[in-house]
Structure 1
């Protein structure tokens, strides 16, 4: 079994990161919203390809406002553009952090789970040959692998 990750993050560092993230949440709280899954599906979305188009429209709307439809408030349009311009660099940074945190947690979790399965299989074999203490440990650990029977009449073992 290849050990691909071996880290020990000091509790003080984890606490500092947690505090910093809480501070970020607190600072952004008055400005951020939460969309429903339905809203996320139905609203038009800005992407990297759309961003230059919107930037050009902003320039034109300010310099050639005679073409601005009466239902479009230029001040609100400018606020939206300013918000997206400020938020996107933050979002990119947070995405990078999320990706590396997720990858690191996934790898550490995978290695911990593989090690735990190896221990479990060793205890299982030891219980089969009646090694002292193995049966009690095996009986406790095997609960993780019990499945419910299809007819719902109690557990079905591995």
Structure 2
């Protein structure tokens, strides 16, 4: 399936205009009217697609903000429970939640490895 960009759209418009003006020279199996309807539909869908894409961006922004705010609230709850929740039956939950902030062995090894020494002449 060919993706139509601006250059292809210009070509298609000009070629179909030429075909419509010289229908007697076109192959019988070429339905110029159908091709023109397809082009018109393609062009009619452009503003709809632009609006939908804009709406999608707004939804993604809203989702990101909601997620960020929820995560910030969760971090506040976690940090508060670390301070006030000791010996209050939260040990299992806090141990589970603390996994979020543990570094993997690979990350830990990278962080602890000495910086490469530069060789100067």
Instruction: Give the TM-score normalised by structure 1.
Output: 0.52
Look up the match of 2:81.
Answer: 123
Contact 1:58 1:78 survives alignment (8 Å): yes
Look up the match of 1:111.
Answer: 69
2:50 alignment partner, one of 55, 80, 92: 92
Look up the match of 1:46.
Answer: 4
Instruction: Give the TM-score normalised by structure 2.
Output: 0.64
In terms of fraction of residues, the more helix-rich structure is 2
Deviations 1:41-100 (A, max 9, x none): xx1111233222222222112112345344321122012112111111111111111111
The gaps in structure 2 that reach 5 residues or longer are: 101-121
The gaps in structure 1 that reach 5 residues or longer are: 1-42, 147-158
Q: Does 1:139 align with 2:93?
A: yes
Deviations 1:109-151 (A, max 9, x none): 1221122123123213433x32x46x17x628936958xxxxx
Look up the match of 1:60.
Answer: 18
Look up the match of 1:101.
Answer: 59
